[in-house]
Structure formats: structure tokens, C-alpha cells
Amino acid sequence: MSEDKGGGKVRKSTNRIIVSGRALLIVLCCALLAVPAGAPSANAASGPPIKIGVSLPLTGDNAATGQKALNGARLAVNQVNAKGGILGRQMQVVEGDDQCDPKQSSNVAQKFASERVIALASHYCSGAALAALPIIRESQMLYIDIAAVSSKLPAAGYDRYFTVMYNGGQPGQFTARLMKEKLGVKTVVVLDDKTPANTEFVDGFVATAQAQGGPQVIFRDHIAQGDKDFSAFVTKLKGSNAHAIYAVCYYPECGLLIRQMREQNLKIVFAGTDSLLDPAYVKIAGEDSAEGSLIITQPGADELPTAKQFVADYKKSFPGSEPGNVGAYSYDAVWVIAKAYTAVGKVDNGAAAKWLHGLTRADAIQGATGKLFWQPNGTITEFFFSTYRVHNGDFQFAKDLVMK
Amino acid sequence: MDLVLQQTINGVTIGAIYALVALGYTMVYGIIRLINFAHGAVFMWGAYAGMFILTMLGGSKSVIGLAPLLILLFIGPMMLCAIFGFAMDRIVYIRLRHRGAGALVPLIAALGISLVLEISAMLTWGKEFRVYPKFLQLSYFTWGRAVLSNMQIILIVVCLVMMVCLHLFVTYTRTGKAMRATSLDHDAARLVGVDVDRIITLTFVIGSALAAVAGVLVGMYYGSVNFRMGYVAGLKAFSAAVLGGVGNIPGAMIGGFILGLIEAFGAGYIGGEWKDLIAFVILIGVIVFKPTGLLGERVAERA
């Protein structure tokens, strides 16, 4: 026994010597590496590719949407490069999977910063975008936001932040007008799932409904993400005799909500937002229950008159994939970056942001999603909404509900 | 009035599920004073197993008939989860018991097992929501504006049958008597010839099988399953068990129904975001004024 212990001790101390030797070696290697590593990047200004960071949910619940946005960005980069790149330099996509998770998202932003990514065409979820923003700001990247729509993003006051999609409660405002002008809804119940962007949608809806004198909001309720049973809310909704519900939740909850509404024989107008534009919504709700529900969202590429060329190019580059309602936005985001650098004649984020801020309707960038020019806070000036209706399990563009 | 009736239906439906899952918590606690946090994950596996069977056999409803399909749909997941319960006790808890590990070690082990079950479900079935194939034509009974579906009737009846069977088993069979004896005192039970380890394993097996039934019912009723579904359901069911008096079988049933009704009326008359708050405030209130839960005398007796 004692021999054993002694042996152990000897082994241990040899280990320690090996370990300290190894540490020394690592330190030496680092020192050796550090010198040449700095050298090439110093004289790199003319040649190396311009790195564009694309941080999106590539796994998890929103992976399908994230992949479409990534495809859109890739397509734009390939087109820019085919036309000779920016000022003779190629563009390069650096992708990051943020999973719509704030923690992952800030890791991705850190990775971008350390890889010297110069500009971002990024983010689908507002939580993820908000978590990344401080890091983006610190490394002074040009940040074109694809689809994170919380008004907290422009409110942060970063002067190199631009959106290509609407921002804040605007879908809610539009829905309130749609209900009054097109659907003739008199009374409505509103519901959100307490997530930042979705709460803003409902705020926008309520404010507009009050300002335009209808529809009358009977009550506002909240659900929690992950809940399965909304039967008590449905009964309360039934008791309110409302003509419609504006429900702003993601498809796992909204799918169950409409299913439970139909199960309690409640057949009022159901209006939701872009997260429901996903086949999973119909699957969870069941085809019968989802029938007739309205989805108010930014127009998908197919409905945009300006995106015909984009849709054709996208389908050619990614056979079997549809651009959906994000592909065109990430595509435009990359083009905004390319056009800004080209216009100012250098890869300079300060100058590029200044140039973008200076654009007006007359000299706006013509993107796949429309005319791109911005408000002083970086939010896009012109945007549209369209309405889809679920019919036989498909999403159909509701031509009868088109509204300026 | 019919809306009050509707809220009662809502509350009883969800309460029946809570009660069935709560039984698993309360039986295990009653017998070895362990809060088996892996129970919610077993429930989730039951739901997935039901989905699997329904996907495999759903098309053959016309061939084998509805009744055999329903029986298979419940028996399959019950057997799978019973195996989980058996393995859980035989591989992990029994060793900890025999080595005299304190109360904390099995608790941590339970958390570990629940993670293993959850992540293995995620790797098997994926992260996204999976949908239960539709196999039952819904029909409805209405009183004024209140609606009760045949699915809700099936759910409530199956839960009640399970609870009554369990109650009869524990009260009137020899094994049930041995279970009650073990829950009172392990050593005394051993002295009168009870194989205590076998009884404890059996408790895990029965509790897990009941969780499987609840899982299948939830899958059928709500239509979609996800690997995270066991966490919240487990927490609620555990609260129901505590509310009724943890360790007490009728207590778990009553606790489940009360919790379901509190949630339904809380969400219906105060607001959806207050639902959980109200439920847990009442729970804390009950524990403060009656630490043994509503029907908790028997716990006090054992302590």
C-alpha cells in the first residue's frame, strides 16, 4: 500500500514537470505565432475579402426561416462578386447560428468581431439582436437588420443601424385599420405572449384602434410561451362576444389557441402575425381549425412586384427552396452594404452610414422589397403589409384585403 | 351561467391530467420520501410513444377497429414507461438506498435522469413540435354556449378509471397492503415479510405507467408534443400533489382537480398572465396554514 502511494507521488511530480514544460512550450509558440500573425493583416487593405456577418437561427424552431434568409444573403453576395465585387474586393459571408437565443447571439457577435467582420446583414429575432447590439456597436460594424423588429433596436441610437423591414408596432397599426376598413369588425380582444416585439404589435394595434375610433378593444390578455391550455381564455373570449381576436403569439401557442377556439365552437375572425406563416402552424392547429385565419405580415417575395427578378434568381440558385417572406430582406440587406461601400469609394463604415442616411425617395436604393431610404433613426421609410388567409392548409394571398 | 359551466369543464379536463401525473409523484414520495423529478420526463416519453403507435397503426383503424387501437395506444406507452420506471429504480435509486445516501443525492440523481430522458427524446424525435395523427372524429355536446367534446369525456373517464383502479389496488390487494406498510415503515414492513425493494420498484413502475397514460391523453387532446412538455406539466402536477398532501393518494387526485379549477377560473376571470401566480399563491397559502396539504394527516402520522 505504502509503495503504491509513493509511486503515485513520484508520478505526480513528474507530471507537474511535464505540465510546466508544456505550459512553457505553449507560451513560446504563442510568442512565435504572434509576430507573423500581425504582419499579413497589416498590409491586407487592398486584397482580402470583405467579410459580411450573417447571424440567424440556423438550428432550432426558426431554422427553416433562418435558412431562407441565409440563402437570400448568399445569393446577393454571389451576385455582387460576379459583378466584380466591391471596389475590386470580393465579399464573403461569415455565417453564425444564433438560434434566436440572446446568449448564442452575443457569442456569434463576439466571433464576428474577432474575425474582423466589417458589416452585418443579420438577425431574425429581436431578443437575439438586442443581445448582439452592444458588441456590434463596440466594433463599429455597419449593421443592416434583416427581420428583428423591436423598436428598442433603433431606440438604442446606434448611427450605423439600418432596417430593411418595418419596425415596432406597425403590423398592429395596419391590422387595426384592416379590421375597421375591410373587415368591418366592431369589437375585438387582443392577446400577446409577453415577448418584446409581440407586445409592441399589440400596443400599436390598441393605439391605432383608439385613434381611429374602432374597433373597440374589449380586453387585453397575455399568455406565456410554452403554455398548452388556453381553454379558460377561450371561454372568457366567448363571454366577451367580440367579433374578432388579434392574437400575437408564435405558432406553437397560436396553433393551439385557434384549435381550442374552434373546439369550443367559437368561430370569430382570427388575425395573427408572420410567425404563423409556417406550415407547422397549420399542423398544430389542424387544417379544419386553421381554415380562414388571417395572417398580417410583410409581403412575401412572391407578392412583391419589385422582387420578380430576385425570385427567379433565388429559385435558380436554391432549387426546391422558396424565398418566403425573409429571403428578399436579407438579399436587400447585403445589397445595401455593397452599394454603400461602392458609393463612398472605400470600405469605411462611418462614411457608408452617412451616405445611407442622406438618401431620399428620389435617389433611394431600388431593392427587391421596394425603395430603400431611411428615417433619421435608421428605420426604413417605406414598407408594405399584406394579408394571407389559410385555405385548405395553404397560405393564400388575400386579394380582397389589399389595403394601402 | 353556461360560461361558468364551460370554465368548470376546462378546469376538470386539465385537472384530471394534473391528478394522474400527481399520483406518480405522491406514490414515490409516500414510499421513499423522494421527489422524483424525472417523473415529468417519463410523462413526456409516454406522449411520444403514443404518437409513435398512432403514426404506425393510425391507418389500420378500419382493420383492427377503434377499441383495440385505443387499448394498444395506451398499453404500449404504459409498458415503455413502466420499463423506464423499473430501470430508474433498479439502476439508480436502489443503489443509492442501499448505500444509505442522504435525501439530497437521490434528488440530484432524479434531476440527472430527467435530463437524460429529455435529451434522449430530443435526439430521437427532434426539437420541433410533433403532431399527433388525427384518428378520432370530434363530436360535441352543448348546453347553451358550453361545449364538451367526446375527447374531453374520454380524457376525464380514462383518468377517473385509472385513479379508481389505483385506489382499489392499494386498498384491497395484498400488494397494495404491502405498499401501505412500506410507506409507513420500511423496517417494520421487512420484519413482517414484505420485500421492500420489490414494492418500491413496483411503485415506480405503476407511477410511470400512469404518467404514460396522462402523456397519451395530453397528446391526443392538445394534438402536439414537444420534448420540453414534461417540465411544466411535472411542476404543476407536483404542486397538485403538495396541495393535496404529498404522499397521500386521494390527496393527489383532489389536489389535481383543485389546481385545474383554480387555473381555469383564475385565467377566465382575472387574466391569463395571473393564472400561474394565483395557483401558486393558493398553494403557498395552503402549505403555510396546513403544511401537510389538504388531506395530509397520514403524512403527519408517518413523520
**DSSP per-residue string spanning A129-172:** HHHHHHHHHHTT-EEEESS---THHHHT--TTEEESS--TTHHH
Amino acid letter at B278?
I
pLDDT band for position A4 (50/70/90)?
very low
DSSP A55: E
Mean pLDDT of B260-282: 87
pLDDT band for position B297 (50/70/90)?
low
Query: Percent of chain B having pLDDT more than 90?
Result: 62
- Cα-atom radius of gyration of chain B, to the nearest Å? 19
Inter-chain contact A286–B134, Cβ cutoff 8 Å?
yes
Measure the N-to-C terminal CA separation of chain B; round to a whole number of Å: 45
pLDDT band for position A336 (50/70/90)?
very high
Give the model confidence (pLDDT) of B159-169 as tens digits: 999 999 999 99
In-domain check, residue A150? yes
* Nearest residue in chain B measured CA to CA from A266: B145
Q: Which of B3, B265, B276 sits opposite A238 (nearest CB)?
A: B3
User: Do residue A96 and residue A209 come from a single domain?
Assistant: no
pLDDT band for position A51 (50/70/90)?
very high
Q: Which residue has the cell 376525464?
A: B156
User: Do residue A194 and residue A139 come from a single domain?
Assistant: no
| Min Cα–Cα distance to chain A from B120, Å | 16
A283 touches chain B (CB under 8 A): yes
Inter-chain contact A232–B267, Cβ cutoff 8 Å?
yes
Domain count, chain A: 2
Is a pLDDT exceeding 50 seen at residue A31? no
- Cα-atom radius of gyration of chain A, to the nearest Å? 26
Inter-chain contact A233–B13, Cβ cutoff 8 Å?
no
A290 touches chain B (CB under 8 A): no
* Nearest residue in chain A measured CA to CA from B236: A227
Question: What's the pLDDT at B237?
Answer: 93
Determine the residue among B147, B149, B156 to mutate to test chain A binding: the one whose Cβ has the most chain A Cβ atoms within 10 Å.
B147
Output the nine-digit C-alpha cell for A199: 407586445
User: Do residue A232 and residue A317 come from a single domain?
Assistant: no
Q: From B265, B221, B258, select the one nearest B7 (Cα to Cα).
A: B265
Quote the CA–CA distance of B47 and B38 in Å, as a whole number: 15
Question: What's the pLDDT at A400?
Answer: 87
Question: What's the pLDDT at A22?
Answer: 55
A224 touches chain B (CB under 8 A): yes
Is a pLDDT exceeding 80 seen at residue A54? yes
Give the model confidence (pLDDT) of A129-150 as tens digits: 999 999 999 999 999 999 999 9
Distance of CA B239 to the CA centre of its chain: 12
pLDDT band for position B138 (50/70/90)?
confident
Listed as own residue / partner, the contacts of A299-304 with beta carbons closer than 8 Å and 24 or more positions apart are: A299/A325, A299/A369, A299/A384, A299/A385, A299/A386, A300/A324, A300/A325, A300/A328, A300/A386, A300/A397, A301/A325, A301/A327, A301/A328, A301/A368, A302/A397, A303/A386, A303/A397, A304/A328, A304/A368, A304/A369, A304/A370
Q: From A335, A341, A382, A375, select the one nearest A358 (Cα to Cα).
A: A375
In-domain check, residue A182? yes
Q: What is the mean pLDDT of chain A?
A: 87
Q: Which of B3, B11, B264 sits opposite A239 (nearest CB)?
A: B3
Q: In the A/B pair of chains, how many CB contacts fall below 8 A?
A: 90
What ipTM does this complex have? 0.86
Is a pLDDT exceeding 70 seen at residue A6? no
| Min Cα–Cα distance to chain A from B268, Å | 5
A325 with A297: CB under 8 angstroms? yes
Q: Which of A228, A235, A256 sits opposite B268 (nearest CB)?
A: A235
User: Do residue A124 and residue A179 come from a single domain?
Assistant: no
User: Do residue A293 and residue A320 come from a single domain?
Assistant: no
- Checking DSSP bridges between strand A187-192 and strand A216-222, what pairing results, if any? parallel
Residue A100 CA neighbour count, 13 Å, CB half: 18
**H helix or E strand, kind and range, residue B97:** helix B94-98
DSSP A75: H
Residues β-bridged to residue A54: A95
Determine the residue among A101, A192, A229 to mutate to test chain B binding: the one whose Cβ has the most chain B Cβ atoms within 10 Å.
A229
Residue A322 CA neighbour count, 13 Å, CB half: 9
Mean pLDDT of A264-286: 91
Q: What is the dihedral of CA A251, A255, A257, A262, to 10 degrees?
A: 160
In-domain check, residue A22? no
DSSP B192: T
Backbone torsions φ then ψ of B87, nearest 5 degrees? -65, -40
Residues β-bridged to residue A96: A55
DSSP A79: H
User: Do residue A100 and residue A206 come from a single domain?
Assistant: no
In-domain check, residue A364? yes
Output the nine-digit C-alpha cell for A393: 392548409
Question: What's the pLDDT at A320?
Answer: 87
Q: For residues A116-146, b (16+ Cβ closer than 10 Å) or e, as one string?
A: ebbbbbbbbbbbbbbbbbebbbebebbbbbb
In-domain check, residue A3? no
In-domain check, residue A75? yes
| Min Cα–Cα distance to chain B from A148, Å | 22
Mean pLDDT of B241-249: 88
Inter-chain contact B266–A228, Cβ cutoff 8 Å?
no
A158 with A143: CB under 8 angstroms? yes
User: Do residue A256 and residue A397 come from a single domain?
Assistant: yes
* Nearest residue in chain B measured CA to CA from A220: B271
A17: buried, middle or exposed (CB in 10 Å: 19+, 13-18, 0-12)?
exposed
| Min Cα–Cα distance to chain B from A203, Å | 17
Question: What's the pLDDT at A20?
Answer: 52
Is a pLDDT exceeding 70 seen at residue A299? yes
Is a pLDDT exceeding 60 seen at residue B94? yes
Is a pLDDT exceeding 50 seen at residue B290? yes
Residues of B in contact with A190 (CB under 8 A): none
User: Do residue A236 and residue A203 come from a single domain?
Assistant: yes
Q: What is the mean pLDDT of chain B?
A: 90
Q: From A397, A387, A392, select the one nearest A183 (Cα to Cα).
A: A387
User: Do residue A233 and residue A153 come from a single domain?
Assistant: no
Q: Which of B10, B145, B223 sits opposite A232 (nearest CB)?
A: B10
Least confident piece of the model among A6-20, A203-217, B3-17: A6-20
Mean pLDDT of A43-72: 84
Could you list the residue range(s) of the whole structural domain that residue A122 is in?
A: 50-166+305-372
> Helix B2-32 crosses helix A231-240 at what angle (to 10 degrees)?
170
User: Do residue A60 and residue A145 come from a single domain?
Assistant: yes
The answer for A378, left when phi > 0, alpha when psi is -120 to 50, beta otherwise, is: left
Output the nine-digit C-alpha cell for B134: 388525427
In-domain check, residue A24? no
SS3 of B159, please?
Answer: helix
Inter-chain contact B265–A232, Cβ cutoff 8 Å?
yes
Give the model confidence (pLDDT) of B59-90 as tens digits: 666 677 778 888 899 999 999 999 999 999 99
Quote the CA–CA distance of A281 and A307 in Å, as a whole number: 26
Q: From B55, B28, B62, select the one nearest B42 (Cα to Cα).
A: B28
Quote the CA–CA distance of B219 and A224 in Å, as a whole number: 19
Domain boundaries, chain B: 2-228
Mean pLDDT of B138-157: 90
A313 with A76: CB under 8 angstroms? no
In-domain check, residue A367? yes
Question: What's the pLDDT at B201?
Answer: 96
Inter-chain contact A255–B224, Cβ cutoff 8 Å?
yes
Question: What's the pLDDT at B90?
Answer: 96
Question: What's the pLDDT at B203?
Answer: 96
Quote the CA–CA distance of A223 and B141 in Å, as a whole number: 27
Query: If you average pLDDT over each of A42-56, B10-24, B115-129, which comes out highest?
Result: B10-24
Residues of A in contact with B10 (CB under 8 A): 229, 231-232, 235
Report the CATH number that the domain containing residue A328 is assigned in CATH: 3.40.50.2300
- Checking DSSP bridges between strand B140-143 and strand B146-149, what pairing results, if any? antiparallel
User: Do residue A312 and residue A217 come from a single domain?
Assistant: no
Residues of A in contact with B144 (CB under 8 A): none
Give the model confidence (pLDDT) of A209-256 as tens digits: 999 998 999 999 999 888 889 999 999 999 999 999 999 998 889 999
Is a pLDDT exceeding 60 seen at residue A189? yes
Inter-chain contact A233–B267, Cβ cutoff 8 Å?
yes
The DSSP annotation for B219-251 comes to: HHHH-EE-TTHHHHHHHHHHHHHHHH-TT-HHH
Q: From A387, A209, A399, select the one nearest A294 (Cα to Cα).
A: A387
Quote the CA–CA distance of A174 and A169 in Å, as a whole number: 9
Mean pLDDT of B113-124: 94
